[in-house]
Amino acid sequence: MRDHMKTKKKGERGAIRAFFSYYKPHRKLFALDLVCSFTIAVCNLFYPFIARMIMNDFVPNRAVALIVIWAAALLAIYVLKAFLTYIVGIKIKRRAKMPSSPISALPSKRVRPSRS
Q: Give the pLDDT confidence of 69-116 residue by residue, as tens digits.
A: 999 999 999 999 999 999 988 877 777 665 555 445 545 555 556 665
Entry pTM: 0.63
Tell me how far apart the alpha carbons of residues 88 and 100 are, in angstroms, rounded to a whole number. 11
CB 95 within 8 A of CB 50: no
**pLDDT computed for residue 71 by the predictor:** 94
CB 89 within 8 A of CB 37: no
Number of Cβ atoms within 10 Å of the Cβ of 95: 12
- pLDDT more than 90, % of the chain: 45
**pLDDT computed for residue 49 by the predictor:** 94
pLDDT of 53 > 70? The answer is: yes
**pLDDT computed for residue 29 by the predictor:** 85
The radius of gyration of the chain from alpha carbons, rounded to an integer in Å, stands at: 24
pLDDT of 3 > 60? The answer is: no
Measured over the CA atoms of residue 61, residue 64, residue 66 and residue 67, the dihedral's sign is: positive
Number of Cβ atoms within 10 Å of the Cβ of 4: 8
